[in-house]
Structure 1
Amino acid sequence: MAFMFRWLLRIATGLFVLFVAAVTLIWYFASRSLPDYEGNFAVAGISAPVEIVRDNAAVPHIFGETDADTFYALGYVHAQDRLWQMTMLRRTAQGRLSELFGQRTVSIDNLLRRLDLYNLAVSSVQAQDAQTMDALNAYAAGVNAWLAEINSGARGRGAPEMWVFNHAIAPWQPADSLAVLKLMALQLSGQADYEVLRARTSLMLPNARLSDILPDDPSSGVAALPEYSAMVGDLPQPTSGTRVYDDPLSPLKSHELSGASNAWAAGLTRSAAGSTLLANDPHLGLTAPTIWYLTRLQLETGDVIGATIPGLPVVLSGRSADVGWGVTTAYVDDQDIHLEQINPDNANQYRTPDGWADFRSRDSIIRIKGAPAITLRLRWTENGPVLPGDVFDVGSVTPPGHVAALSWTALSDRDTSVSAAMAMMRARTVEGAIDAAEDYLAPAQNLTLADRTDVAMKTIGMIPRRDPMHISRGRLPAYGYLPENRWQGRMPYADNPEFVAPEGGILGNTNNKTVDRPFPNHVSYRWGDTQRINRWRRLMQSRQVHTRDSFIEAQLDTVSFTARALLPLIGADLWFTGEAAADGTPERRRQIALTLLANWNGEMNEHLPEPLIYAAWLRALQTRLIQDDLGPLATEFTHVDPVFVERVFRDVDGASAWCDVIQSAPVETCTDMARLALDDALQWIDDSFGTNLETLRWGDVHQATHDHPTLGGVPVLQWFVNIRQSTSGGDNTLMRGRTAGEGANPFRNVHAAGYRGVYDFADPDSSVFVTATGQSGHFLSRYYDNLGELWRRGEYIPMSLDPALARGAALGVMTLVPQQNDD
């Protein structure tokens, strides 16, 4: 026995030593890629030394003698901190993910190759102005200088992910930066997805009910559209399509997660300190690290500070000493699906208004790790690229003998959006920024601006010009060979919505409708918000004047207007009715839930049980309302639409018909459905948590899920690379935390403000900003998540252009010096 014990002890000791050695070795190789934030680095391509001061939050303050040197250093620090993220953005745009990830990403590469975003970016390089080209070239040289340092300095392949997905890194090119912006346009687009969903739904519902489940903004009416089946004839049976956006590596998001943001500004008459204020928090899918990277740039036209995206040398939301700017998704209807008829006698031709024409086509090879390469036949029509039938399940709404092509403003080979963004960043006045944005194409944004005296908002980006006789008004797929369905160029930039120096002194946008104009000058039929705007209006009008702190308070507001408006409506016949039920019965549990909600003020606070009860009830209610009418298609409606629920319970145009279950003999009322849905919700809560309702916490289910896109699903590693945070807010609060809408936990927070900034021009150096994770993309770095807890608590860091403040608490000063020639 002693002999056996000794050997078991030796084996256990040996295994432990091997484990420790393996972990130490892994840590050593991974840590080699941690960048240095101090020291001198000799590099080729700069004219004079460039100082990079990283303040105590690891935000780089870059001081270069020329703009080219400053952008060079920006490329250098982006690559230092976010090399893996940059290479993934480039690979995604190129449609080359499968070289690393195998069969998993073939559908993503298939779509990106067909859209041809990267080649369009390459062609667009020649369209940039000289100043922008200088910046793009300098930025690329800076990225490549860090790549050279990786190779010469044994810096662990540049990122720990490279040890898992080892592949050569090509030098950065100016086109790569243009492709990053096109990729962001794809992530923020959702009109094509929504068109197809509308077509699929219209095949199952009469027009009156279609207006319920896919409602227009209630502030205006829209004429009825033709029934889709009558417009296009016989169609395949709708099915559940391939969801390209399910993979975290996909840039294509569901229309319900296609973009959201907040921005507002106050002019002189509404600012307590005598100058202007601006707040901005753009919302994107949460990742680790966040897509945003904070920086300060010293430029010849004046210093700027704010949020950049690694790979793109532009401050997209930020300020200079004179102007602040913020962006929100404009929801411009900038995509159309065109149904192209194929020549029955020649499959290489499609129908145009002038007869049959050849598809523009070429082959493209996708190389797949661990599998044979596949060859795609890419086809384009005059309206745009032909889409695979499984994207958005567009094949189910495409008539036999036809294919679907996508028209989209981002599919330009003369895309000057980066040049326009660069000019906006250098503008010195509100008017100058608006003028600079004229050449901006995509993604369409509402640009909110403030200088020291004025505030303004302008919709920037190309708005397609449509024929007034367009058969579907761009709301449904339409035949591409009919002239009236084709785009007729671009609307004049002057016609884009514009608001300068508003009379009330305050303007803002929460992705809500900005203008009420008839088609074809309508901008869009689909807007991103009908709810948050109501809370914002109340907060703005509750004060005569505003301060930086009141803008922060609004940015962090978690009161749900939706909860306050809908709960009295759906629970009108349930509250305070009946005798008190016995403890432990379903009736008693329902009464407890109703009592909690009756005393709740609608605040989606992470520490309260009421937000979870409310959210589960509304989710169960919508499911009961639509599942019998829509069948399998009901799974596409993953989020509660408050306008739909209100229409049903107010019986707008007969919408209460949704409350009756078609397959049942009785006629159910909306009160019946509300009661049954509450029981469903409480049963789900009991199955999931098995605890008293009073002890529930919204934050336990509404956790912000900052997942690493590539390593986030790897066992063990996921505990190091993923970030989880209990958060307040919800789908319809100003501090928006959009829920997943599906899965085992449909209430996890997956889409929120990855960046927040508040700019005060009465005292610009008191401006503040923060991101959702940290500056570094290296999970072993203490700056990987150093800003995350501040973000969760609603705190900020200084956004100052004062060099002394940056140097005063700097964690490192790095200098790039020109490399000396040996001769």
Structure 2
Amino acid sequence: MPAKKTSRRARLIVIAVVLLLLAGLGGGAYWSVDTVRGSFPQTTGSLKVKGLGSPVDVKRDEHGVPQVYADSADDLFLAQGYVQAQDRFWEMDVRRHTTSGRLSELFGEEQVETDAFLRTLGWRKVAEKEYEQLSGKTKKYLRSYARGVNAYLKDHKGSAASVEYGMLELTGTDYEPEPWDPIDSVAWLKAMAWDLRGNISDEIDRALMSSRLTKKQIEDLYPSYPYDRNKPIVEGGSVNPTTDEFSTSDSSDGQMENRGGTQSPQDAAGGVATQLGGVAEKLDSVPSLLGPNGTGIGSNSWVVSGEYTTTGKPLLANDPHLAPQLPSVWYQMGLHCRQVDASCPFDTAGFTFSGMPGVVIGHNQDISWGFTNLGADVTDLYLQKVSDGKYLYDGKRVPFRSRQETIEVADGASRMITVRETNNGPVISDRDTEIRRVGDEAPVRSAAPDRADGYAVSLRWTALEPSRTMDAVFELNSASNFKEFRKAARDFAVPSQNLTYADTEGNIGYQAPGRIPVRGAGDGRYPAPGWDPRYRWKQDPVPQSALPWEYNPERGYIVTANQAVVDKDSYPYHLTDDWSYGARSQRINDLIHSKIKDGGKISMGDMQTMQMDNSSEIAKLLVPYLLKLDIDDEYVREAQQLLEGWDYTQDADSAPAAYFNAVWRNLLKLAFGDKLPKELRVKGECLNVPPSDESGPLDDLDGNARLVRECGKRDAASAQPDGGDRWFEVVRRLLKDPASDWWKTRNTKTRSGDKNRDELLRHAMKDARWELTAKLGKDIDTWSWGRLHQLTLRNQTIGTEGPGIARWLLNRGPWNLSGGESAVDATGWNAAGGYDVTWVPSMRMVVNLDDFDDSRWINLTGASGHAYNDHYTDQTSLWAKGELLPWAFSDKAVEKATDDKMALTP
């Protein structure tokens, strides 16, 4: 039920006071410590749970990770729902409010626009249709899971469920969670697909760039994938044009007509920069439940054949790169049928999503699998010509399909919005007051601007069509060989992922699944003209039989790290042009090859060491240029000397890594920032360039205060690139052209502009010296990368925007981290905003197919979502140091590792 109206500010103030009292910082606490602990899960003894057919055992290890044992699949998933609700129900409840577009019911007025956008996309409505298409078994498992969650809710109200609900009670908010519904679980797949949706941001950026840059300049900033240097996942192979079957041994040239015949016209986006810029802002405002779409959404997974391992069986590693969240998006768990047979086929363990049954990444008794984001282009923006409440298509005026949505608001009146849809998806430009100005018309103040003439923007996205991805989860969990694995992958429609595979028989493999559109005209790189039927998607997507796969390749290993899947020239279908550029993937390839080239073998320890490799690929390229420069300024020269003899590793205690990354950040700002359109400008922190008078040496600064004051006067808006491996490739090519216009900067009052590459590099080195002096001090011996590159874990509700004291009590950190952007140890940072860690390896695992009990895993935070529980962040410090925990799987190993045992009984 929606929460009763109350002031958002008042609620947050009360929450802050309550948290203070709980922390023992004030007297007269309304709640006792026992009240807070009352929401912690019972982990010993026995509990009666309605709906169980027979007793279920729940065994937890010293980190609170549960292993569940049941006699039937129904009991197994019912118990999974119950146990996940014990640890994470507040998180689950917030997630389902997100996927339903109902955040305003919990958090008030500030979430109305986000809810309106999510209602426009219609995740919940798609999930309802999707549920109806699922197999009978999958529906049964989803219902069992929901019964388990609801059995927990029946006996846990308010503060007994979590401290957050108790806080809502104290503010006078009348909120009680609704029963869990199977569709709540299915809808989570829409959020997963949204955060891994592909190149929509690049599509908007290129269109906005076309207002200021030439086509050649845009292509300079989006270079082609370097197939000659960075290997694709599948080396060789194509599609038989007769059977539409992909084969690594098929040398056929295939048929190329499906790539998209005509480039989407850049001028179709002309004059609609306001709409596209507003759409970009609205996309960014949608809560990223996995991470910010863009360079950070990545992952590493690789598998090595037993021929090259010390165990004689395959080893498989995986570490998905997602936004740091508290609690972690992952929940470790084991799901075991006591008797594995056709009626109860599950004996699996790994990483799950709270709120969804089954295991997403992990292994069962026969196979192991890992995921990385394939990055297929599954979204297209369409510009719609609008007049008289209709849109133009194929020379005719077509009426919009419309529906009304009511948004309930906790601290305000409910809102009514109108959602309009075209034959190319919902109109997303309706959802922002700024982008209701279409064409040259005046703003329209109605809930939906259906009376305005000009342009609108709609979204076509594969995830808005019902699929059977939920079926695929259970099929993966019970697969026993590569044939069954590939069959399961065929149902994994969205998000499109790279699936790595290994089995206990010694086989390794790869499959690219997903619903990937086949375009008519256009290639998805720019918004398309919605009025032209040539730009419609074809009815059928890329055939699943034609998607690339490999099985036991001769080289003996498979690496996926978001690079190109297959050589573009030999593959007939267009997957995307916006791959990650292969910095991480090729580094992993090189590490494996260097280990095995002379007969060496790879161990579990080697796999773990590779996961923590923090070598900077852009530093290897750029540092030789920096060291060749003659630097007159002795203070900059002192910093330059840090790079002499540096091995390019980015350890937390490394001063060279700190200085180089500051140079890289300043280089990007100088070379590209002022040349990009204003619509692409992002708010970032001041780069701390030298004071305008530039008089006096660094020693004249009084504690850097003068420098900081000067920085504070500067405009903090910059169009600075994010610094991902696309920019590695851009700069790589420009370094060969020292006179390129990209190296030239404008004259300012204090200095003449840079005229070539070397002048700009000197400029960047100087600015970096001043910036780090302000941030880390004048003494370069005290500099370290970790002091700049810090991880703070933020509770995803009150911890992100509540009062400072609430954030202090709910959030954790900071941790000084090694690693960096597009390193294998991908503790990413965005050069547009600073050095803080913005995405991370959200978990790490290494699976030993010779002995599952010798496998290792680690989570970013811990099992618990309760802020004061021992398992809230008990894995984080280990994770930060690159350590992995033992991963017990067999009955004997699990029993030995068990600290707490609980029986759930009918």
Amino acid at match of 2:784: R
Amino acid at match of 1:732: S
Alpha-carbon distance change, 700 to 30 in structure 1, aligned in 2, over 3 angstroms: same
In the aligned structure 1, how far is the partner of 2:897 from the partner of 2:269?
Answer: 66
In the aligned structure 2, how far is the partner of 1:88 from the partner of 1:308?
Answer: 17
Partner deviation per Cα, 1:205-253 (whole Å, 9 max, x = no partner): 1111111223332337999986955345544568864734666944486
In the aligned structure 1, how far is the partner of 2:315 from the partner of 2:292?
Answer: 33
Normalised by the length of structure 2, the TM-score is: 0.82
3-state SS, counterpart of residue 568 of structure 2: coil
Which structure 2 residues correspond to residues 719-798 of structure 1 after superposition, within 5 A? Answer: 719-724=808-813, 725-743=815-833, 746-798=834-886
Percent identity at matched positions? 29
Question: Which residue matches 2:362?
Answer: 318
Question: Which residue matches 2:463?
Answer: 410
Partner deviation per Cα, 1:354-411 (whole Å, 9 max, x = no partner): 7333211111011223222221101111211110267799889989622111111111
In the aligned structure 2, how far is the partner of 1:684 from the partner of 1:417?
Answer: 48
* From 453, 467, 484, the counterpart of 1:432: 484
In the aligned structure 1, how far is the partner of 2:105 from the partner of 2:218?
Answer: 43
3-state SS, counterpart of residue 262 of structure 1: strand
* From 140, 143, 147, the counterpart of 2:146: 140
Partner deviation per Cα, 1:101-131 (whole Å, 9 max, x = no partner): 2232222112110000011111211111112
Aligned partners of 1:459 and 1:496 also within 8 Å: yes
Question: Which residue matches 1:112?
Answer: 118
Question: Which residue matches 1:642?
Answer: 728
In the TM superposition, residue 484 of structure 1 has moved relative to its aligned partner by: 1.9
In the aligned structure 2, how far is the partner of 1:227 from the partner of 1:320?
Answer: 45
Q: Does 1:85 align with 2:91?
A: yes
In the TM superposition, residue 450 of structure 1 has moved relative to its aligned partner by: 0.5
Question: Which residue matches 2:35?
Answer: 29
In the TM superposition, residue 486 of structure 1 has moved relative to its aligned partner by: 0.8
In the aligned structure 2, how far is the partner of 1:133 from the partner of 1:17?
Answer: 44
Partner deviation per Cα, 1:26-50 (whole Å, 9 max, x = no partner): 6443322111111211111111000
Question: Which residue matches 1:709?
Answer: 796
Alpha-carbon distance change, 496 to 23 in structure 1, aligned in 2, over 3 angstroms: farther
In the aligned structure 2, how far is the partner of 1:37 from the partner of 1:445?
Answer: 35
Aligned partners of 1:235 and 1:396 also within 8 Å: no
* From 401, 411, 426, the counterpart of 1:370: 411
Aligned partners of 1:199 and 1:397 also within 8 Å: no
Aligned partners of 2:264 and 2:525 also within 8 Å: no
Q: Does 1:515 align with 2:602?
A: no
Larger deviation: 608-617 or 716-725? 716-725
Which structure 2 residues correspond to residues 3-152 of structure 1 after superposition, within 5 A? Answer: 20-23=26-29, 25=31, 27-151=33-157
In the aligned structure 2, how far is the partner of 1:396 from the partner of 1:708?
Answer: 37
In the TM superposition, residue 611 of structure 1 has moved relative to its aligned partner by: 1.3
* From 333, 354, 374, the counterpart of 2:377: 333
Larger deviation: 174-183 or 219-228? 219-228
Aligned partners of 2:200 and 2:379 also within 8 Å: yes
Alpha-carbon distance change, 562 to 709 in structure 1, aligned in 2, over 3 angstroms: same
Alpha-carbon distance change, 564 to 631 in structure 1, aligned in 2, over 3 angstroms: same
3-state SS, counterpart of residue 772 of structure 2: helix
In the aligned structure 2, how far is the partner of 1:382 from the partner of 1:133?
Answer: 30
In the aligned structure 2, how far is the partner of 1:291 from the partner of 1:735?
Answer: 19
Alpha-carbon distance change, 255 to 105 in structure 1, aligned in 2, over 3 angstroms: same
Amino acid at match of 1:406: L
Q: Does 1:535 align with 2:587?
A: yes
* From 759, 762, 770, the counterpart of 1:672: 759
Partner deviation per Cα, 1:294-335 (whole Å, 9 max, x = no partner): 000013324101000101112111001210000000000010
Amino acid at match of 1:457: Y
Amino acid at match of 2:582: T
In the aligned structure 1, how far is the partner of 2:60 from the partner of 2:484?
Answer: 31
* From 497, 503, 508, the counterpart of 1:445: 497
Partner deviation per Cα, 1:15-68 (whole Å, 9 max, x = no partner): 999964344726443322111111211111111000001111211010000011
In the aligned structure 2, how far is the partner of 1:247 from the partner of 1:102?
Answer: 16
* From 674, 683, 686, the counterpart of 1:628: 674
In the aligned structure 1, how far is the partner of 2:728 from the partner of 2:888?
Answer: 41
Unpaired stretches in structure 2, ≥5 consecutive residues:
1-20, 230-258, 338-343, 441-452, 683-718
In the aligned structure 2, how far is the partner of 1:288 from the partner of 1:717?
Answer: 14
In the aligned structure 1, how far is the partner of 2:417 from the partner of 2:260?
Answer: 41
In the aligned structure 2, how far is the partner of 1:22 from the partner of 1:552?
Answer: 50
Normalised by the length of structure 1, the TM-score is: 0.90
3-state SS, counterpart of residue 787 of structure 2: helix
In the aligned structure 2, how far is the partner of 1:568 from the partner of 1:18?
Answer: 55
Aligned partners of 2:627 and 2:644 also within 8 Å: no
Question: Which residue matches 1:485?
Answer: 535
Alpha-carbon distance change, 388 to 220 in structure 1, aligned in 2, over 3 angstroms: farther
3-state SS, counterpart of residue 108 of structure 2: helix
Aligned partners of 2:382 and 2:527 also within 8 Å: yes
In the TM superposition, residue 168 of structure 1 has moved relative to its aligned partner by: 1.4
Amino acid at match of 1:619: R
Partner deviation per Cα, 1:327-355 (whole Å, 9 max, x = no partner): 0000000100111222x2x30x2223373
Aligned partners of 1:46 and 1:72 also within 8 Å: yes
3-state SS, counterpart of residue 52 of structure 1: strand
Unpaired stretches in structure 1, ≥5 consecutive residues:
1-14, 582-586, 819-823
In the TM superposition, residue 719 of structure 1 has moved relative to its aligned partner by: 2.4
Partner deviation per Cα, 1:762-813 (whole Å, 9 max, x = no partner): 2221011110110000011001011111111111112221223222242211
Alpha-carbon distance change, 223 to 559 in structure 1, aligned in 2, over 3 angstroms: farther
Alpha-carbon distance change, 552 to 18 in structure 1, aligned in 2, over 3 angstroms: closer
Larger deviation: 629-638 or 261-270? 629-638
Alpha-carbon distance change, 286 to 359 in structure 1, aligned in 2, over 3 angstroms: same
Which structure 2 residues correspond to residues 651-670 of structure 1 after superposition, within 5 A? Answer: 651=737, 656-661=740-745, 668-670=755-757
Amino acid at match of 2:665: R
Larger deviation: 551-560 or 217-226? 217-226
Question: Which residue matches 2:8?
Answer: none
Partner deviation per Cα, 1:646-669 (whole Å, 9 max, x = no partner): 122112xx9821011256776611
Amino acid at match of 1:405: S
Q: Does 1:550 align with 2:601?
A: no
Amino acid at match of 1:296: G
Please provide the CA RMSD for this pair: 2.7
